[in-house]
Structure formats: structure tokens, C-alpha cells
Amino acid sequence: MLVKSNICLLAVIILFTFLISEGCTESNADKYTQSILKERAEKDSSMKFDSHSPFHRDSTVKIKPLIYYDPDQGFVFKSKLFLYEGQDTVAILGTKGEMRYVIQLGFVELKKENKVHRVNIYRAFGRDGEMYHSIWFTDRTTGKETYGVGRYLDFELNPNPDFIYTIDFNKAYNPYCAYTALFTCPIPREEDFIDMEIEAGEKKFH
């Protein structure tokens, strides 16, 4: 009887542990969703009140909340940065026809549904000369549910060569040229197409 009682007690403990674990997972998922929604609300506020917002630069464009997919952790990836041996300077066409020259620094790998997608990381320089790194991409949603030129993801470089980056497409956003033709923006190259439907991040504005 003692053995049977101990087995029952063990089963209860395992079930209790499972329920706690499930509850924590849901809580973490909720916390992640809230953090994404908070970022989006802050961006809407910035678009409305910031004097550098495209809606302040072009008064003909009506301000409205930006449109997004629901947060989905299935579009959050982890990868090292694989540096190219020859970090070539490549030409990127802008939406007003101008050429920009940026450095193709390396790539990250996205693993989804038994496929590995290589995504380029670019090093560029702003008008003020400040260096930054970005992902510029198109995918199967481009021109349908998402902006026809493509979308962007910021990329913060870490000096540790073994650093594991988080590539979160829930933070993918439209460049300013998606809202008004007053702005010009880099057009993702043909090789920057990601062969899947990235149903995450910002959708079309117009």
C-alpha cells in the first residue's frame, strides 16, 4: 500500500509541476505579446507627435495607427552572424532612382519548416555619417499584405563573434517611403527575398 501511495503522490507532483510549467509558458508568451504591443503603441505616438515623423513632413497624408500582424513568436529566430570573407561594397537602388553604396557584411540563418533561409546583413551610413546595420528583405507577402518595396529590420552588431542574435520579424517595419513619396528608401535586392510568408510585423499602410 505504501508503494502504491508513493506512486500516486509522485504522479500528483508530476502533474502539478506540468501545470506550473504550462502556466509559466503562457505567462511568458503574454509578456512577450504585451512588450510588442507596447512598442507599437509607442511608435504610433511617435508618428503622431514627433516633428520628424513622415506625417509631419507631408501634411497631405492622413495620420492613422499603423497596421500589423498579430505578434507571433513563430517568427522569432536565433542565429550567429556569418561574416563574408570578402565584404563587398554593393549598389542598392533607392525608390527615387538614386544609387546607394553599402557593405554586404554577412548573413544570418533562419530555420523554419526544415528549410534554412540565408538573410543578408548590410552596413550602411546615414546622411549624418553615422554607421548602422540593417536587414532589408522581401518575402511572399510583399506586394500583397505588406509594402510592395519591402520591409526592414534593425540589426545591432555585437563584437563577440560567437554571439547569438535574435531576429524578430514581429519588429519588421516599413520605411518612410511607404507612407509618403517625399521620402526615398533602399530597395531590397533580388537576393534579399526570403522564400516564405513572413506573416509578422508591419503590414501595408495604404
Q: How far is CA 139 from CA 28, 118, 192, in A?
A: 28, 12, 9
147 located within any domain = yes
pLDDT digits (tens, 9 = 90+) for 100-125: 999 999 999 999 999 999 999 999 99
How does residue 67 score in pLDDT terms, banded at 50, 70 and 90?
Answer: very high
Residue 25 neighbours by CB under 8 Å, 6+ apart: none
pLDDT at 13 over 80: no
9 located within any domain = no
84 located within any domain = yes
135 located within any domain = yes
36 located within any domain = no
Give phi and psi for 117, each to the nearest 5.
-110, 130
Using CA atoms, how far apart are residues 75 and 151, in angstroms rounded to an integer? 15
58 located within any domain = no
Report the pLDDT value the prediction gives residue 14, as an integer from 0 to 100: 43
200 located within any domain = no
27 located within any domain = no
Q: Which domain holds residue 88?
A: 65-194
Specify the number of domains making up the chain: 1
